[in-house]
Amino acid sequence: MSKSDFTAVGRFLGKKQPLMARAEGIYLYDADGKRYIDGSGGSSSVTSIGHGVVEVPAAMAAQAQAFSYNPTHAFINQPFLDLADLIAGLAPGEMYQNCKVWFAVTGTDAVDDAVCLARQYWVEKGRATKYVIISRWQSYHGMSISSCGFSGLTARRTLFTPMFVNSPHIPPAYCYRCPFEKSLPQCDLLCARTLETTIRQLGPENVSAFIAEPVVGSALGAVPAPEGYFQLIRDICDRHDVLFIADEVMTGWGRTGRTFGIEHWGVTPDIIATAKGVTGGYTPLSAIIARNEVWQPLIDNDSPFRSGHTMNANSVSCAGGIATIQHIVERGLVENARTVGAYLLERLKELLDYSIVGDVRGLGMMVGFELVRDKATREPFPPAMHMSRRVYDAAFERGLVTYPLTGAVDGAAGDMVKLAPPLITTKVQVDEMLTILHQSLESIPVT
């Protein structure tokens, strides 16, 4: 069948892709039997426990035999209750056993719901002027019309610019290309302190929340904030009565070597949006986790949370989430992500020997490297050269799936490649990935 014969609309219109046939561990196999390493962890940072874990579909099937769907306006279901309890027992910092969990379907849903909760929280407290969401440039929070407004990835925002409310953005915490042309520690974390300036300019009485990814995924190719950044963000939010939302859609469930990425900074957000790794790609499921204090005004006013979709808190997906999280905990995959992730980052630094690799960064099993035309000046390649796609194609041909990204420089230029393999990955498998990456970079003409 030719690519033009497909009725189904895939990720890339008109692009021929191999047909995936099966998967096991960290490996994917196409219909011709060729093996690929799932180096991107799906699309991307999804496959937390690897492929072919029979306990997850078995748990989902057992629930489906009882029932697959319940009308949420009339009934609750036991997996929904059990998964919420499980998550509360793993929540970070001051959220531990002091939170409530709302379940949705996708990461975009979770971010939308987190913002909705922040707004409703202030309304229920009698402070309805607080509605503004502040975010960062070079960030990605989903592809709904609303989340496009506070995402900071230019390439994904531009098409929908006339349709969304354009939220204020501050510069990213991006030391390799510091927007203030400074370096640590002399910068005194200007990237964080800009939040306070922005809140004052907007008026604290108008600002509802600040949202950020602990490690920036799709927009910057695995850039963690520097030490002290989120500690200062937390302090600024507290002093100005602004809620802090951590977007843990990619970084949650062990991806960075901690259960939640924000734990690396030792602070507790008010709301967490999470998805992807919570079910490891076995079924769609997302959640928001919020402190009890955030839910309390809704409870006091007998005001239901004004969000929700038909498939929210789906019993089969919740059963899959329980099995996935239990697998992560029982097999020590968070620790494996920390130790093997450190090895992966160290091995990845070998790529700095190539003239086109300017930076290597990451945390745990979420790492990346940036491609540059000139290492000294950090000049990016022209977007028309599609350098990250060239690296992707070369690696894919050799049996490694990576995640190509663009937009590190003002959202327009700047090529990156992200790796986020399953948390079960071994050091031997890391070596296999690096062999392919070396071969791929050596094969790419740079003119």
Domain ranges (residues) in the chain: 3-49+332-443, 57-330
* Confidence at residue 13, expressed as pLDDT on a 0 to 100 scale: 79
Establish whether domains 3-49+332-443 and 57-330 are of one fold. no
* Confidence at residue 1, expressed as pLDDT on a 0 to 100 scale: 44
* Confidence at residue 91, expressed as pLDDT on a 0 to 100 scale: 98
CB 284 within 8 A of CB 110: no
Residue 63: helix, strand or coil by DSSP? Answer: helix
Q: What is the mean pLDDT of the chain?
A: 96
Task: State how far the Cα of 368 lies from the Cα of 364, in Å rounded to an integer.
Answer: 11
Residues 3-49+332-443, CATH architecture: Alpha-Beta Complex (3.90)
pTM of the model: 0.96
For 78-119, how does the pLDDT look when each residue is reduced to its tens digit (9 = 90+)? 999 999 999 999 999 999 999 999 999 999 999 999 999 999
Task: State how far the Cα of 127 lies from the Cα of 123, in Å rounded to an integer.
Answer: 5
Task: State how far the Cα of 179 lies from the Cα of 411, in Å rounded to an integer.
Answer: 13
Task: State how far the Cα of 398 lies from the Cα of 47, in Å rounded to an integer.
Answer: 21
Four-point Cα dihedral 302, 306, 311, 312, nearest 10: -60
* Confidence at residue 164, expressed as pLDDT on a 0 to 100 scale: 87
Residues 57-330, CATH architecture: 3-Layer(aba) Sandwich (3.40)
Task: State how far the Cα of 240 lies from the Cα of 372, in Å rounded to an integer.
Answer: 40
Mean pLDDT, contiguous 10-residue spans, the chain (447 residues)? 69 86 98 98 96 98 97 96 98 98 97 97 98 96 90 87 91 96 95 98 98 97 98 98 98 98 98 98 98 98 93 97 98 98 98 98 98 97 96 98 94 94 98 98 88
| Distances, alpha carbon 357 to alpha carbons 54, 106, 373, 375, 402, in Å | 39, 33, 8, 7, 15
For 133-157, how does the pLDDT look when each residue is reduced to its tens digit (9 = 90+)? 999 999 999 989 989 998 998 888 8
* Confidence at residue 69, expressed as pLDDT on a 0 to 100 scale: 96
The secondary structure element, H or E, covering residue 416 is: strand 413-419
Handedness of CA 173, 195, 262, 85 (dihedral sign): negative
